[in-house]
Structure 1
Amino acid sequence: MSESTQVTSRAGAPPRGQAQAPGRRVRRQWIVAGVLLAAAIYAPFQLVPFHVFQLTMVLVYAVALLGLNVLVGHAGQISLGHGAFFAAGAYAAAIMMFHWELPYLATLPVAAAVAFLLGLVLGVPAMRLRGLYLALVTLAIAIFLVPLLKRFEEVTGGSMGLSLAKPAPPAWSGLAEDQWLYFLALAVAVAAFLLAAGLLRSRVGRALHAVRDNEIAAEVMGVRLSYYKTLAFAWSAMFAGVAGCVYTWVIGFVSPDSFPVTLSITLLAGIVVGGLGSLSGPVLGALFVMFVPSLSQDINEAAPGVIFGLLIIAVMYVAPTGLAGLAGRAANSLKKTLRKG
């Protein structure tokens, strides 16, 4: 090869460090994910049943927030009615288990499909509305959900709700009930995060990002706004429905009062605090949703809502991009310190 050819090929190729950086980043992410998964598998054997239950609920909320992250963090739409999709999945599973006595695993795909279709229908307003107008429409969905569930008493159990038997661990597993429910939630959460990661790296994910960043530019590039906005609602609802289904397995009881309007607001606060547009954001947000309200109750039983609101303000002041962004900045600072040392 001539010298000029070598120079040309070198000029056309990226520097070696830049070419390897994405590969190293991906390997690092997989290593971190593997360590976290190993810790998650190890945890239920070292904790008391109540703490195992708390971690199980963190996984449930993480799946719900994963769907909300797709809608808000990646598609740029807002929803104050995500609790309605969560409730749809929970009641779909409960009704099938209570009235039809279906196996609990069979309820998962049906709950996902019900929530997905509901998201498609309710995603229609997203085609024409945005911002506060869209937020009001989704809030209305959460508001009329509770009286609607109470109205069809023969199916939903009305105000009394439906009591269900929790999934029993197989004899071969050697697990206690709380451990078995934890591993069911962990398996669903891992599958949901892998699905979301694949979705966001695909053509659909790139289209959602284009819609989020600039709708006019996205439309000029050939992105169908109405199609992808509706699809974002449907995918978001599906993840919430899956979370609601697992919630039914874990709690063994559903009632209209389990899904108040404040649930939707809390979920939105959770994903904003956790970090929009980040795969770690739903997990951090789920930890916030699970533990901060109870912490607020312990600090002041008379006004836990005030303490909860103040804690949200404090977190957002310290971490404007969410806890995921704060963790990323802390990791970068640690790397710079180690390199200097």
Structure 2
Amino acid sequence: MIGAAARPALSPRWRWGAAVAVLAAACYAPFQLVPFHVFQLTMVLVYAVALLGLNLLVGHAGQISLGHGAFFAVGAYVAAILLERWELPHLLTLPFAAALAFLLGLGLGVPAIRLRGLYLALVTLAIAIFLVPLLKRFEGMTGGSMGLTTAKPVPPAWSGLAEDQWLYFLTLAVAVAAFLLTAGLLRSRVGRALHAVRDNEAAAEVMGVRLSFYKTLAFAWSAMFAGAAGCVYTWVIGFVSPDSFTVNLSINLLAGLVVGGLGSLLGPLLGALFVMFVPSIAQSVNDAAPGVVFGLLIVVVMYVAPTGLSGLAERLIKKIPRKE
């Protein structure tokens, strides 16, 4: 059973203060950075939304998924098809992508409630593996190996923003909405039920928690966030192809979440930074074996911060002297 390691709780005052500071910095950043760095931060936000969903499943419900990249790909392709084939406005593709991913997650959650641990990991891994050849097979709809090219959102004249800045703020709006929705969900009865399932399934069932219902719901919500992230990915990149959604994406997402910190709202953001920047750092350190460098960095981070980077950050904040 997977659960978040115990970590010292911070007061709501500290949490709200940190959230406001991060949001203010996020709004200020695109006006000070070159377009490429703005693009990188935009992708961090995209991955953060996907990791929010994975965190619901792994960090809060105690399940595991090695196939989350598949839901990400579903959202990306739904957006691409609606934009390229049906010429829908960009914002309208988001609810369609999220809804279809939700339904697929709901469908996967039904058989998954009978599995746990290694068996559940293998089933979800299989989904990520067969997705790529499946996308290539339906060439008439998905574009096959060549993929689909779509137009990016055009900034309105009144905004005064460049294209990269407009994409960034669109993605930031989706990310903020996703974080607020997740925070509200975790404070609700659903969140308490998920934590009960994660901590002790037998005890949760005795207390009246319907295990099958909440496990299925966790998969569906988790897939929905991944699908929304995939949709925004299509807006940002303007291109999708099967080779962009290999099993490596699913593994990197799970690794990023563990490094960022399970069961923490800050964990997905830190994990997204890890997923975005560490592979490029590994590539620059050693062109011949970036995977080895990437793996070693994960080992080092987990040795220094067993509860993830968010747990390390909270421990450091707890050490700051405070006035009574």
Give the TM-score range, shorter chain: over 0.9
Give, in whole Å, the separation in 2 of the partners of 1:26 and 1:332: 13
Q: Is the 8 A contact 1:169 1:177 kept in 2?
A: yes
Equivalent residue for 1:112, pick from 81, 98, 102: 98
Equivalent residue for 2:117, pick from 131, 156, 171: 131
Larger Rg computed on CA atoms: 1
Amino acid in the other structure paired with 1:199: L
Which residue matches 2:193?
Answer: 207
The CA deviation at 1:123 is: 1.0
The CA deviation at 1:27 is: 2.8
The CA deviation at 1:334 is: 2.3
Q: Does 1:186 align with 2:144?
A: no
TM-score for both structures, normalised by structure 2: 0.96
Query: What is the 5 A alignment of 1:97-246?
Result: 97-246=83-232
Amino acid in the other structure paired with 2:167: L
Deviates more, 1:73-82 or 1:120-129: 120-129
CA distances 1:55-79 after superposition (whole Å, capped 9, x unpaired): 0000000000000000000000000
Query: What is the 5 A alignment of 1:314-329?
Result: 314-329=300-315
Give, in whole Å, the separation in 2 of the partners of 1:192 and 1:171: 27
Which residue matches 1:60?
Answer: 46
Q: CA RMSD in A?
A: 1.3
TM-score for both structures, normalised by structure 1: 0.91
Which residue matches 2:240?
Answer: 254
- Runs of 5+ unmatched residues, structure 1: 1-21
Which residue matches 1:89?
Answer: 75
SS in 1 for 2:45: helix
SS in 2 for 1:334: coil
Give, in whole Å, the separation in 2 of the partners of 1:86 and 1:140: 15
Q: Is the 8 A contact 1:126 1:226 kept in 2?
A: no
Q: Does 1:49 align with 2:35?
A: yes
Q: Is the 8 A contact 1:125 1:134 kept in 2?
A: no
Equivalent residue for 1:31, pick from 14, 17, 21: 17
SS in 1 for 2:183: helix
Give, in whole Å, the separation in 2 of the partners of 1:89 and 1:163: 15
The CA deviation at 1:33 is: 1.0
Query: What is the 5 A alignment of 1:299-338?
Result: 299-335=285-321
- Percent of residue pairs bearing the same amino acid type: 81
- Runs of 5+ unmatched residues, structure 2: 1-8
The CA deviation at 1:28 is: 2.7
Q: Does 1:290 align with 2:282?
A: no
CA distances 1:110-138 after superposition (whole Å, capped 9, x unpaired): 00000000000111222100000000000
Which residue matches 2:4?
Answer: none
The CA deviation at 1:339 is: 6.5
Amino acid in the other structure paired with 2:149: S
Q: Is the 8 A contact 1:181 1:250 kept in 2?
A: yes
Give, in whole Å, the separation in 1 of the partners of 2:206 and 2:163: 54
